Homo-oligomer: A and B are copies of this chain.
Amino acid sequence: MTQDLHPVISLRLFTDRKCFGPGVAALLHGVEARRSLRAAAQAMGMAYSKAWRILHEAEEQLGFKLLDSTAGGRHGGGAVLTPEGTRFLAAYDAWAAAVRAEAERLFAAQLGPWAGPDVHPTGMQSDKTEE
């Protein structure tokens, strides 16, 4: 293989449908940094209409607001995370980081023999499956 085998984990939250995942999380981090949904979307190369839609859907599914508009309203002015949005984002980030760390640890335990570059499990080099 051309590069070490490694896990790639995608972590999403659903209600009856998709609700919160890496896209909304990145958008919220962008709003924290830029205090504007439009600027956050632009920095991610995401259309503002999409940013507004995924944020609105997340708020609807979660049942609470993630952003508060500042002067000028959400369309014209800035935005900041609500207190509950801040707490929720921090909890999602902590969860995602912990799961990724566990996934790496378990990957080494379960799939370690296949993880090295061009390394097969010890004693299996003679398998007829090798071509």
Could you list which residues of chain A lie within 8 angstroms of chain B, going by C-beta atoms? 1-16, 18-19, 61-66, 68, 82-85, 87-88, 91-92, 94-95, 98-99, 102-103, 106-107, 109-111, 113-114, 118, 120-121, 124, 127-131
Inter-subunit contact A110/B83 (CB<8 Å): no
**Contacting residues, chain B, for A65 (C-beta < 8 A):** 129-131
> How many copies of this chain does the complex contain?
2
In the assembly, what is the distance between CA of A68 and CA of B131, in Å?
Answer: 11
Inter-subunit contact B10/A10 (CB<8 Å): yes
In the assembly, what is the distance between CA of A83 and CA of B130, in Å?
Answer: 10
Given A92-B111, A103-B11: A129 in contact with B84 (beta carbons within 8 A) = yes
